[in-house]
Structure 1
């Protein structure tokens, strides 16, 4: 599981930072990439990475402000061109977002005469959908409303625990022949060999805990963010302003570095990545943002465009 930031700026594109988009790479886990928000020129940012648009199977939109959705129609169209020209069958796409996201996408495609080679499944969400919004054998996703100037959400991605590994060498030494009996033990079933009971639990290691990533949209400091992020291995939180601009941040529905760090501390997360940075902060001023956050939560970092890291459990 890896995360890569395609845009880390607030409001409008700047020379140093494009507007918001985040790619959660689940290639090893499920051969997919999930995209969180799709600001203007996201597809141009993707060209600077090794991301293949046809691998993006889910898009999670936090809210309908332009700096989070203006890149969506273009990306969807380009993805269609790529899938239709490859050997792969076009993959359908799921889009999760606030009520209105379907109307926005379909109107944009209709007015531009754009036709897609795949289907889009829309999942429009409001406060009544708070909680689990997706689950399968490997992952689940939870949503919670936040506190912005329009309806906005955060998403918690939970990797399900993996079963412990089978100690094949020990099992073989215990006299169990390789074959169907191995499979039974691996599935947790006790077996009997020559009158001897082989307990599966003795040959299977402990379950491997799944990783948890919480990605928030724009928000004021709020307890809802704390509850959504509790115990996360990684928290992505906006930090549009420095600590001294708390009043401005609140008026505009945003957070400061210090407020984001307080959320991380109270949620007992392992690592905090700060994004959605105002264009006023460049050079040494970015260093100051990091220092402010670290005063409250040491494991804090301000990310820049194309920053990528492996998410550790």
Structure 2
């Protein structure tokens, strides 16, 4: 599980930061990638990255401001040309389907895959299968905006091979049944219970990705005990007045949310173009004064989410 940042800027593209788009690389876990937001130029950023659009499975849109959305029609079209023929699902606020249908319809785009648009009507679970659950909750921004909590479900513990070998049980179909917790009967009459040969379950990871927001209670709820929190930090601490006026957050506010929620690692993104060089380093120091494990994302930067 890896986060890869295609765009980390705020408002409009800049030379050193494109607008928002994040990839959650789940190739080892499910053979696919998920995308979060799709600002203008996202498909161009993908061309400069190791990301394979044909491996994309889902897109989660936080809100319908252009710097999070305007790259979507081009990306959907390019996915067909780049070998994407599996179903693709987009999640986001009300109005997303009208935007997609209108832009693709007027430009007469033909897709070689099934496209599903799921508009979020209320806070709660928006996706769940045997391995992952994704929860969405509304944030405080100028328009309807969501944050997402991605929960990897716990994995079964490792089969304790040494114990089985000591009992003379060799590799074979019995190993699989024991790992699943079943009770098996050996040819010599011995009975082995699976739960006695499987180690403790492996704790799943939690990644929280928020859209644009000022500090609010749902940010903390979504981020509770997360391994990684991706939080906007459009402004430095000295511009708290601007952050409040435009429903954004400062570095300090992002760090305090991470601290209060018990987050392990904070990654700040959606950075105003006014912060470059020493100014960007100052943002990191402001956050680390409240939450030590804080980082400032840059375009084409990645972070591997460790297991606890």
Give me the TM-score of the superposition, normalised by structure 1. 0.95
Counterpart mapping for 1:283-302 below 5 A: 283-302=277-296
TM-superposed CA distance for 1:133, in Å, is 1.0
Q: What is the CA-CA distance between 1:178 and the residue it aligns to?
A: 3.6
Q: Deviations over 1:114-144 (max 9, x none)?
A: 1111121111013x2x111111111110001
User: For the residues of structure 1 that align with 2:180 and 2:283, how far apart are their CA atoms?
Assistant: 50
In 1, the alpha carbon distance for the partners of 2:237 and 2:283 equals 8
Displacement of 1:240 in angstroms is 0.2
Q: 2:226 aligned to 223, 229, 232, which one?
A: 232
| Aligned equivalent of 1:186 | 179
RMSD of aligned residue pairs (Cα, Å): 1.2
Return 213-222 or 170-179, whichever deviates more: 170-179
3-state SS of the aligned residue for 1:220? coil
Which consecutive residues of structure 2, in runs of 5 or more, have no partner in the other structure?
none
| Aligned positions, number | 306
Residue 219 of structure 1 corresponds to which residue in structure 2? 213
Q: Deviations over 1:152-211 (max 9, x none)?
A: 000011111100111223213213344333332121123344354423222111110111
In the TM superposition, 1:52-201 aligns within 5 A as 52-83=52-83, 90-126=85-121, 128=122, 130-193=123-186, 194-201=188-195
Give CA-to-partner distance per residue, 1:42-91, whole Å, 9 cap, x none.
Answer: 000001111111111100000000000000001111111122xxxxx711
Of 241, 244, 250, which aligns to 2:235?
A: 241
Of 260, 263, 267, 2:254 maps to 260
- Any runs of at least 4 consecutive aligned residues in structure 1 with deviations exceeding 4 A, and if so which? none
CA distance, structure 1, for counterparts of residue 166 and residue 292 of structure 2: 48
Is 1:3 the counterpart of 2:3? The answer is yes
Distance in 2 (CA, whole Å) between partners of 1:228 and 1:118 is: 32
> SS of 2:289's equivalent?
helix
Q: Alignment partner of 1:293: what SS?
A: helix
How much does 1:298 deviate? Answer: 0.7
Unaligned runs of 5+ in 1: 84-88
TM-score, scaled to structure 2? 0.96
Aligned to 2:13: 13
